[in-house]
A = this chain, B = another copy of it.
Amino acid sequence: MSVPLPPGSTVGILGSGQLGRMLAMAAARIGLKTHIYCPDSGPAFDVAAKATKGSFSDAKALAQFASEVQVVTYEFENVSSETARLLAPHVTLRPSPRALEVAQDRLLEKTFISDLGFPVAPFRAVSGVSDLEQARQDLGPTAILKTRRLGYDGKGQVRLGASGDAASAWATVGKAPSILEGMVAFEREVSVLVVRAVDGGLAYYDIPANTHAGGILRRSEVPCGLPEADLARARQIAAGVANALDYVGVLAVEMFHLGARVPLEQRLLVNEIAPRVHNSGHWTLEACGISQFENHIRAVAGWPLGSTRRHADAVMLNLIGAEANAWEKLAADDGACLHLYGKNEARDGRKMGHVTYLMPLTA
């Protein structure tokens, strides 16, 4: 498709969470309808023109969904290759299945990025205890064992210390195909939100600094404080990845910054990529004229990209679990832009909303 989808067209979205919800509202802003497809109803159902509850392996329901939309995108990277294959005869999927394939498999992802010439943490493929023992010899005893694929009954990863036992670590990850990743002494975590149009045109949001706790993003802040040369290098890496995937939409590339003592070419190391809009870009809703959500929709709909210009400094804080119970206090906070996702239960570790604080533009 080389012509943009006209207003009134429908964008199909796989997944009904908060990212789908914000994508649906961004689509509505520019006159596009959305149709959410998900096994379970969720926050996105409340703001979409249509929503279908269906299994991601239901060929008939997916074909019906595909027939009612003009393009399909997704809010999460674990869309299975089966789902992609079932949709493919009927409708264009953007970003393409190739991006899903790479992002879903930690070994494939690290190899792909490394082959592009960009630094990643040292890693080894692990298919058994003997692999793991060899890998620890190569990378040092302190390392993280991660399953290649996510969502393995919460047995996704385990940190090995000097005294860690390989056999028990291997059992902890469910004996699933994995990688061992060497520890990286980074100074700062940043992410590049790059958006790539159908014609290959690229745009970048300003790069936030991110803070995680317990594996969950807590805070993103722009500007991140890195010098321009480092920012340019980060953009160069993200562009390289996006171009190599012939990507369409917003791609988030999470990176570790190793500090100014490390040579520029080695200073930024790719941690992981997310082929979708990203939590570290939520501040774009207020601090930019066109948010990451709208630019993702624009890209997948074949539209020209909108400006990624930022007109305010911003700090975004996630509201995790019971933190969202403070909504009344947050609503009364003069500087806070409050977002609540409409989830019923404030379960532990669940992203319930976020708050963005805007400040005058400094850089």
Contacts and interface: CB of A to CB of B under 8 A. Distances in A.
Interface of A: 4, 6-8, 21, 24-25, 28-31, 33, 45-49, 286, 289-290, 298, 303-304, 306-307, 311-312, 324, 327-328, 331-332, 334-335, 337-342, 344, 353, 356, 358, 360-361
Given A46-B49, A49-B46, A289 B358 contact: yes
A346 to B, nearest CB: 10
A49 B337 CA distance: 22
Contacts of A344: 8
A306 to B, nearest CB: 7
Contacts of A30: 327, 331, 338-340
Nearest to A329: B304
Given A4-B328, A24-B47, 18 more contacts: A7-B324, A7-B340, A7-B342, A21-B28, A28-B47, A30-B331, A31-B339, A45-B49, A46-B48, A289-B358, A290-B337, A298-B331, A303-B328, A303-B331, A304-B328, A306-B337, A307-B335, A311-B360
Contacts of A31: 327, 339-342, 353
Nearest to A44: B28
Contacts of A339: 29-31
A332 to B, nearest CB: 4
Contact of A337 (B289, B327, B335): B289
Contacts of A25: 25, 28-29, 47
B28 A331 contact: no
A332 B30 CA distance: 13
Nearest to A339: B29
16 contacts: A7-B327, A7-B340, A25-B25, A28-B342, A30-B327, A30-B339, A31-B353, A33-B46, A289-B335, A303-B328, A303-B331, A304-B332, A306-B331, A306-B337, A306-B338, A311-B358
User: Which of A25, A31, A307 is the most central at the interface, judged by chain B CB atoms within 10 Å of its CB?
Assistant: A31
Contacts of A341: 31
Which 5 pairs across A and B sit closest by C-beta, in order of nearness?
A31-B340, A304-B332, A46-B49, A289-B337, A7-B340
A48 B341 CA distance: 14
Contacts of A335: 289, 307
A356 B294 CA distance: 15
Nearest to A334: B307
Contacts of A342: 7-8, 28, 31, 33
Contacts of A298: 331
A47 B30 CA distance: 13
A33 B45 CA distance: 11
Contacts of A28: 21, 25, 46-47, 342
Contacts of A8: 342, 344
A306 B45 CA distance: 26
A327 B4 CA distance: 11
A337 B353 CA distance: 25
A306 B338 CA distance: 9
A4 B331 CA distance: 10
A361 B306 CA distance: 21
Contacts of A286: 289
